[in-house]
Amino acid sequence: MPAVPAAGLTSTEAAARLASEGPNALPMDASSTFWSTVLHLLREPMLLLLLLLLAAVSIYLVLGDRLEAVMLSLSVCFVIGIELVQQ
């Protein structure tokens, strides 16, 4: 049986639904600020792994391997940045 293409809403029906239900958008939390997002990120369980990686950075610094410490800390900052953008 061939598939029948679905017909969309008419412009009148779309305008009526827009008036009655509002725009098709996710609600935004007005109290969500950058710092509240950072605090939320600090409560994530994945942060434990990042803290362990930062401890490894300090071990690299104690051992004198500055290049490894910088590369690892940059990658940790990159992951934290990605998490902030995703939130």
Q: Determine the pLDDT at residue 12.
A: 92
Q: How far is CA 55 from CA 20, 39, 48, 65, in A?
A: 55, 20, 11, 14
Share the mean pLDDT of the chain.
Answer: 83
15: CB partners within 8 A, 6+ apart: none
> What's the longest Cα–Cα distance across the chain?
71
- Quote the pTM value: 0.51
C-alpha Rg value of the chain to the nearest Å? 24
Please give the pLDDT value at position 25.
83
Indicate the pLDDT class of residue 59, thresholds 50, 70 and 90. Answer: very high
Reported residue count of the chain is 87
Res 81 pLDDT > 90: no
pLDDT score, position 74: 92
Question: Residue 8: what pLDDT?
Answer: 83
